[in-house]
Structure 1
């Protein structure tokens, strides 16, 4: 199976947009009610056997089972028969809301995420149709259950043989969008190591450095817009909370944030396609991005968007048939790529790599990218050869003897 997601901008009528808003609010209430039910069950089991909480106490029978996705779905089905409001929403949309809550708890248990929070009014921004009709697309419109045909801007054609498995309706500041999950009954082979290798090192002084000497300056999308963002947020703080002028000011802030995110993503895609079009293998560092974002330079790390860029680069490599792999990031800036000797830790102000053993001199970030390339080539079973002037070549182990 091969899965892909296409995003299109919807053009709903005023009535359809009102239905979308109502469904989002009902999904938010279902989410909060189910979360409160789970939270009360946990709190009722958190006190000691011989003592009660001073603040509050939740008395739930001992035989009551922990609220799970299946139990809450059954309860929702029963309650929906008596609720006129919930009957307006497609039943599977509400079930997907409960599944979304279940995923939040699984992330808390398995990935050490925080306890799920209640959603304020307006914070629920999407709902999912897990099943659609056999042929939901009709020209420039898509047929959604219980809503009907909704026009959308078909910016690119749907590939032949693709089945639309589900649709997610998303509300953004710029309008409504639909994300179509497409599926093909084909098996796409993964790209094998071939061609010329390229090592990439990401940073803050230079957003990216490659093993062949390319340095790309970091674009300061959020930092450059910070002054305008501060002005807009000051306007929000001076308005009466909940008033129409307050909502308009909030919309201006959201519009600027969306512009920043779109600009960063567009630049990442263009850079990723440029790199993937000129290499056969790309190796990057396996970084602890969460730890970096919580450090002293966290705002700048988040503004650079390394995680998004690496994810986009992997997708671009898949489209171009380029082999992509992450390698160990430990001490990439402390090893000489020419002789392999550990040169020691460098201060951030040291921007040039000078090896005391062999005298190899190059930019610090370029040297780290060359170390990344060497580790990647070694991981795929290639012998690393240096051609001079900082250029490396990887020769498959079974072909090394024929090249010598």
Structure 2
């Protein structure tokens, strides 16, 4: 099992200068390797629909893959001796970053989805470098010993878990300072609980009126961290617009804006962790909608959707459930708010209608509560039974159809068992 722990660094003034210097050199090397990849791409590609019958064929280049670019690092240290001050594995990790970025552009990710054309990094956008391997004795009290850099003070706000081995260490520059991210590995895989309590299964419906509603009717209020801080952000943004471009005062105002945005992000992340802990402390299985958050972020509700941070919350919930041996199940979001949770009848309603009233069975409850019950039913498979019963009522009519289909479903379930 792999997990990550993040801690704040307390480097000295000289170490801060050295960290910024490393980032600047690594950024330049990243852009150089990416430019080499683009040069090969432009020389070797040919547009078939725009190629004449008689044309000059340029001399083709060999593909600058990961290994060929890694072999250029010893020559780099000879032509640019100051790169010899950087740990060799940190430089090799830059080559790997270029490879992963360019492969996603040409070949796509694991699902075959291609990313956009990679961009060259500015100093403000290149903020992280990684040690791919760390020695066992790298932690010394309140310090961490980084190869070819030295010992840096770390704020250990929580202890490392027992039995885990440090695999990688990443140094990241954020708006309020430098942070250390340790990737930990434990070969033991957490066992999933063999006996789930049927009373500890819930479905959650995330929304914009309430952050989430459970199938038991419990609600969690939406905090709206970004909207509450918009006034302060607007003041700082106006301060930046009044500053002269390139001046030190404008640079200080930009850093102040970055710190304010980070405060908002940290509050949201803290809320997500606390909500996930609350859910997993009460339930063994949590079902949620398989949402297309990217699609919702392109609508007129984009600011509210991104402020809620549903994707981040569901990712945190899934990871914490895996570590605890619990289950988080995504189910289809199709008509979860429209279908009646009691009889399965589809009750169409607009987004502004927040109450569910079923004309067939008389079920009346909050729209989000109804959706949460549907999500739970889909997770445990009850929605299939209710759909079959409702089809029988329509096809045969009355309780006779109900009893006939119920007997067929019970017989099928007993035969399969």
TM over 0.5: yes
Q: Which moved more, 1:301-310 or 1:91-100?
A: 91-100
Q: Per-residue deviation at 1:129? A: 0.5
Structure with more of its chain in helix, by fraction: 2
Structure with more of its chain in strand, by fraction: 1
Deviations 1:20-55 (A, max 9, x none): 111111111111111112122222344558979xxx
For the residue of structure 2 that corresponds to 1:135, the secondary structure is helix
1:180 maps to which residue? 182
**Residues 232 and 253, structure 1, Cα contact 8 Å, conserved in 2:** yes
The residue correspondences of 1:3-402 to structure 2 (distance < 5 A) are 3-48=2-47, 62-108=59-105, 109-110=108-109, 111-192=113-194, 194-195=196-197, 196-344=200-348, 346-378=349-381
Q: Structure 1: which 5+ residue stretches go unaligned?
A: 53-58, 385-396
For the residue of structure 2 that corresponds to 1:177, the secondary structure is strand
**Residues 221 and 263, structure 1, Cα contact 8 Å, conserved in 2:** yes
Q: Per-residue deviation at 1:121? A: 2.2
Deviations 1:266-300 (A, max 9, x none): 11111111111111211011111111112221121
**Residues 277 and 320, structure 1, Cα contact 8 Å, conserved in 2:** no
TM-score normalised per structure 2: 0.85
**Residues 140 and 153, structure 1, Cα contact 8 Å, conserved in 2:** yes
2:391 maps to which residue? none
The verdict on how the C-alpha distance between 1:50 and 1:358 changes in structure 2, with shifts beyond 3 A counting, is: closer
Query: What do you get for the CA RMSD once the two structures are aligned?
Result: 2.6
TM-score normalised per structure 1: 0.88
For the residue of structure 1 that corresponds to 2:185, the secondary structure is strand
The verdict on how the C-alpha distance between 1:327 and 1:51 changes in structure 2, with shifts beyond 3 A counting, is: closer
Q: Which moved more, 1:373-382 or 1:132-141?
A: 373-382
**Residues 44 and 60, structure 1, Cα contact 8 Å, conserved in 2:** no
Q: Structure 2: which 5+ residue stretches go unaligned?
A: 388-409
Q: Per-residue deviation at 1:82? A: 2.2
Q: Per-residue deviation at 1:60? A: 9.9
For the residue of structure 2 that corresponds to 1:78, the secondary structure is helix
For the residue of structure 2 that corresponds to 1:277, the secondary structure is helix
For the residue of structure 2 that corresponds to 1:206, the secondary structure is coil
For the residue of structure 2 that corresponds to 1:190, the secondary structure is coil
Deviations 1:165-186 (A, max 9, x none): 1100011112111111111232
Q: Per-residue deviation at 1:77? A: 3.0
Q: Per-residue deviation at 1:72? A: 1.4
The verdict on how the C-alpha distance between 1:348 and 1:370 changes in structure 2, with shifts beyond 3 A counting, is: same
Equivalences, count = 380
